[in-house]
DNA sequence: TCGTTCTGTAATATTGTTGTAACAGCAGGA
DNA sequence: TCCTGCTGTTACAACAATATTACAGAACGA
């Protein structure tokens, strides 16, 4: 859940924006004065700041400059809200460190859309698969069982990754060959058995297979039962 | 130097924008028709795309969708230019994958300012990368191992920089060639091996590779394990 | 211009993975 | 219970991926 700091002195507008952001399940913290805005940011470490430029006590531009000057906060995106629409103002705003600039009056939906744009691409698609104490890190190409790192070969890794990312689903040897070995394979389907064996030798603790289940007559599947309780 | 692809059918506007971008020392490639825009992007791998929404043959929205659908290009920021100013249009544009939306007529200086905003923060926050007693100064383009300065060649440096700035992550030779040699390379992937070897000869102390890890079947990664304890 | 360094490739060595065959064991049906 | 066919296991030869070396051409600086 993303945290947004909102600095806007107009009470109605503040509520309107806050309401809409929260409806989109953003977490909102804010102030209706520029004073203390920097402290708030330092405390909250927001993912985004929405900043009215015209504020009674402290100029929004000043706050933005201060945010940019702070190492901890420098990378935080800032969206300016303003009634000033002149070219110079906009450019000054952008050059001063704003990431976006919205001129009042604006449609709230556009503000929301622009906020979302800033968060797009942030999600690094959970690269880690977990089941029980078995962990598979796709970016680093390593698997761990508890603290112990497992030495999986490329094919073993790909097979486990395929099964783990579709837990419970049963795949025929044929399907597994297509998925892991590729469509242009020239490989016996008994090969799958051997790889399942090798995987089991590495990931199964005691004799009984807890992770990879054989489904007689059909193929294999990653066990949904046992590890599910601990799946994140 | 940043590369920008510009798609705009109005010849005058095209020239105007191109002139101004180049004055700011951006590299501009572009078309005055939507046809072939995707191919151009695939070839050029731009850092940013400026896209007119209303194009004669192919809709700008379509092009944007296609860019987002392409794995290689999906992360590229897109700025829409458009005469449509209705709320819905703007929001559709943003939700469709645009990163910014500028309504015609606009001031060129504002476009330039917005372009620059997208590149701000691209420059690495950390000027010095450290891992154990290996140190890489990106501003001065020198590497040190302890007190000793290493004589790295340009390619070696870029390769090490790329790996070091993404520690732990495994990259295929393909990816490394794209990142270090550029997309328009004409180089065998075995070349990567040779450079890894050369790097190792310079940065690894004893025989065993502590910094650059080979991941058989996948590629290489900068070792997260050993140096982590001393990472700043 | 020359000499030096850098660059990429090709050839070779080395390592460990890969896939198969053969057999053992087991489950389920009759 | 036996039989049959599916699955588990083993060992091994072929192989593919990587490491290493040597070299020729390109780029660079003096």
Helix (H, G, I), strand (E, B) or coil at A144: strand
The rounded mean pLDDT for chain B is: 86
Report which residue is nearest nucleotide C28 when distances run from CA to C1': A216
Q: For chain A, give the percent of residues with pLDDT over 70.
A: 91
Query: Measured CA to C1', what is the nucleotide nearest B187?
Result: C8
Res. A39 pLDDT band, cuts 50 70 90:
very high
pLDDT of residue A225: 59
Interval A90-111 mean pLDDT: 85
pLDDT of residue B170: 92
How would CATH label the architecture of A3-119? 3-Layer(aba) Sandwich (3.40)
The reply to whether A91 touches chain B by the CB within 8 Å rule is yes
How would CATH label the architecture of A128-228? Orthogonal Bundle (1.10)
The reply to whether B66 touches chain A by the CB within 8 Å rule is no
> Inter-chain contact A117–B94, Cβ cutoff 8 Å?
yes
Higher per-residue confidence, A156 vs A126: A156
Interval A178-184 mean pLDDT: 81
Res. A96 pLDDT band, cuts 50 70 90:
confident
Interval A160-181 mean pLDDT: 89
The C-alpha of B78 sits at a distance from chain A's nearest C-alpha, in angstroms, of 11
Res. A175 pLDDT band, cuts 50 70 90:
confident
The rounded mean pLDDT for chain A is: 85
- Res A197 pLDDT > 70: yes
Quickly give A135 CA vs C17 C1' distance in Å: 23
- Give the chain B residue whose CA is nearest to the CA of A94: B113
User: In DSSP terms, which residues pair with B79 in a beta bridge?
Assistant: B50, B100
**Under a CB-based contact definition with an 8 Å cutoff, are residues B150 and B156 in contact?**
no
Bond into A105 cis (ω within 30) = yes
Please, is B16 exposed, middle or buried when counting C-beta atoms within 10 Å of its C-beta (0-12, 13-18, 19+)? middle
Protein contacts on strand C: list nucleotides below 7 Å from a Cβ.
5-11, 16-22, 27-28
List chain B domain ranges. 3-119, 128-228
Name the residues contacting strand D (CB < 7 Å): A 190, 193-194, 196-197, 200, 209, 214-219; B 173, 190, 193-194, 196-197, 200, 214-219
Higher per-residue confidence, B205 vs B5: B5
> Model confidence over B110-144: pLDDT tens digits?
999 999 988 886 655 567 788 888 888 887 778 88
Q: 3-state SS of chain B: helix, strand, coil percent to 5?
A: 40, 20, 40
For the ranges A189-193, A220-224, B140-144, the one whose mean pLDDT is highest? A189-193
pLDDT of residue A129: 85
pLDDT of residue A37: 92
Q: Which of A5-9, B15-19, B179-183 is predicted with the least confidence, judged by mean pLDDT?
A: B179-183
The C-alpha of B98 sits at a distance from chain A's nearest C-alpha, in angstroms, of 8
pLDDT of residue A42: 93
Element (H, E) at A143: strand A142-145
The reply to whether A193 touches chain B by the CB within 8 Å rule is no
> Model confidence over B2-53: pLDDT tens digits?
899 999 999 999 999 999 999 998 999 999 998 899 999 988 889 999 999 9
Res. A228 pLDDT band, cuts 50 70 90:
very low
Query: Measured CA to C1', what is the nucleotide nearest A220?
Result: D7
pLDDT of residue A20: 96
Interval A53-71 mean pLDDT: 87
> Inter-chain contact B95–A109, Cβ cutoff 8 Å?
no
> Inter-chain contact A140–B216, Cβ cutoff 8 Å?
no
pLDDT of residue B121: 66
> Inter-chain contact A113–B99, Cβ cutoff 8 Å?
no
- Res A24 pLDDT > 90: yes
Show Cβ contacts of residue A93 under 8 Å, excluding neighbours closer than 6 positions.
A53, A61, A64, A80, A82, A101
């Amino acid at each position: 859940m993303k945290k947004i700091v909102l600095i806007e002195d107009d009470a109605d507008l503040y509520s309107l924006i806050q309401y809409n952001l929260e409806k989109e399940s953003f977490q909102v913290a804010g102030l209706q004065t520029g004073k203390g805005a920097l402290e708030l940011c330092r405390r909250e470490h927001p993912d985004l700041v929405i900043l009215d430029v015209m504020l009674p006590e402290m100029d929004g531009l000043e706050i933005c400059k201060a945010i940019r000057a702070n190492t901890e906060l420098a990378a935080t995106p800032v969206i300016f809200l303003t009634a000033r629409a002149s070219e110079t103002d906009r450019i000054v705003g952008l050059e001063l460190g704003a990431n976006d600039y919205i001129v009042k009056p604006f449609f709230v939906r556009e503000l929301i859309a622009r906020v979302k744009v800033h968060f797009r691409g942030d999600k690094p698609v959970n690269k880690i698969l977990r089941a029980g104490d078995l962990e598979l890190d796709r970016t680093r190409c390593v698997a761990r069982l508890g603290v112990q790192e497992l030495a999986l070969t490329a094919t073993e890794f790909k097979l486990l990754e395929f099964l783990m990312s579709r837990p419970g689903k049963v795949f025929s040897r044929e399907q597994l060959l297509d998925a892991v070995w590729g469509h242009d394979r020239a490989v016996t389907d008994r090969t799958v058995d051997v790889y399942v064996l090798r995987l089991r030798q590495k990931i199964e603790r005691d004799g009984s297979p807890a992770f990879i289940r054989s489904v007689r007559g059909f193929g294999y599947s990653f066990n949904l039962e046992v590890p599910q309780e601990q799946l994140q």
